């Protein structure tokens, strides 16, 4: 190559006349391509991902589903100890229910005695306020409350545990047999003890207590037979042994109003 060599002016002019010049459309396409390349390079330099990549990531992990409050609530429920351990008693909306169940497991006799104390106290309280009328009889209220504590609760604990141990199951035959035993045998015994207790508290003699049982026992049993067969059918069918007395006392608040009236009438 000879650097001193120079193209004659005439040849240069002739080359420029015959060289193909770019068309306007080709020039526009080249400019657009150049702008796209430069823009993408600048975006990559600043860490901006292309829109298509961001869209794919958004679709692969939808925020509305993953971060939904419902999903968060389910996850919290699944992690709760109550769901991990089915043996744990759920307190639910009843204050003290879990503590009461713990007491039934640890000290069943005391827990059931206290349950009957509350049931009998409420029964007589309501009877005096809404049925009997007159001034409040504190002695009567305490007498019936104590009966629930010292006899109804403990005797119910032993009787229903014994009955459930002798007649197992919740079939129709087992339930009917338990109801029959409860109402034919246990009911007269319970009512006789109830009248004898009231007589002793009031200072009555054995003759007066015997007359009370003779005159009012049948009426008390007939009142029981109108209510308790159906209640005990539900009790023996659906209620566990340790919860029998709390269920009975829930119903018996109304029945105790009847007993407090018939037991204290002259």
pLDDT along the chain (266 residues), means of 10: 47 47 55 55 50 48 50 48 47 77 95 96 88 88 96 97 96 97 96 96 95 94 91 95 93 74 65
3-state secondary structure of 219: helix
The DSSP secondary-structure symbol of 234 reads H
Q: Given this model, what pLDDT does residue 27 score?
A: 55
Whether the Cβ atoms of residue 222 and residue 89 lie closer than 8 Å to each other: no
| Cα–Cα distance for residue pair 223/254, rounded to 1 Å | 12
The DSSP secondary-structure symbol of 186 reads I
3-state secondary structure of 22: coil
Q: Given this model, what pLDDT does residue 214 score?
A: 95
How long a stretch of residues is the chain?
Answer: 266
Q: Given this model, what pLDDT does residue 153 score?
A: 97
Q: Given this model, what pLDDT does residue 134 score?
A: 84
3-state secondary structure of 227: coil
pTM of the model: 0.63
Q: Give Dmax (Cα) for the chain.
A: 156
Q: Given this model, what pLDDT does residue 81 score?
A: 46
Q: Given this model, what pLDDT does residue 129 score?
A: 87
| Cα–Cα distance for residue pair 127/253, rounded to 1 Å | 9
Q: Given this model, what pLDDT does residue 165 score?
A: 96
| Cα–Cα distance for residue pair 92/46, rounded to 1 Å | 56
């Amino acid at each position: 190559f000879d650097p001193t060599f120079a193209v004659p002016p005439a040849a240069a002019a002739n080359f420029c006349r015959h060289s193909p010049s770019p068309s306007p459309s080709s020039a526009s396409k080249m400019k657009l391509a150049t702008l796209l390349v430069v823009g993408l390079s600048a975006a990559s330099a600043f860490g901006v991902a292309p829109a298509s990549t961001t869209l794919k990531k958004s679709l692969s992990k939808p925020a509305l589903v993953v971060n939904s409050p419902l999903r968060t609530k389910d996850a919290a429920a699944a992690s709760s100890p109550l769901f991990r351990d089915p043996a744990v008693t759920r307190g639910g909306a009843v204050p003290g229910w879990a503590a009461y169940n713990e007491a039934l497991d640890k000290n069943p006799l005391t827990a059931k005695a206290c349950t009957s104390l509350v049931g009998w106290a409420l029964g007589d309280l309501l009877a005096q306020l809404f049925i009997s009328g007159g001034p409040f009889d504190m002695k009567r209220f305490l007498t019936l409350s104590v009966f629930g504590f010292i006899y109804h609760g403990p005797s119910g604990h032993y009787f229903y545990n014994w009955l459930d141990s002798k007649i197992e199951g919740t079939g129709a035959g087992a339930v009917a047999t338990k109801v029959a035993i409860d109402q034919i045998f246990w009911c007269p015994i319970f009512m006789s003890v109830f009248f004898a207790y009231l007589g002793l508290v009031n200072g009555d003699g054995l003759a007066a207590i015997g007359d009370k049982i003779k005159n009012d026992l049948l009426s008390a049993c007939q009142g029981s037979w109108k209510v308790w067969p159906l209640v005990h059918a539900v009790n023996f069918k659906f209620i566990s042994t340790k919860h029998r007395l709390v269920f009975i006392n829930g119903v018996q608040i109304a029945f105790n109003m009847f007993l407090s009236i018939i037991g204290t009438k002259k």
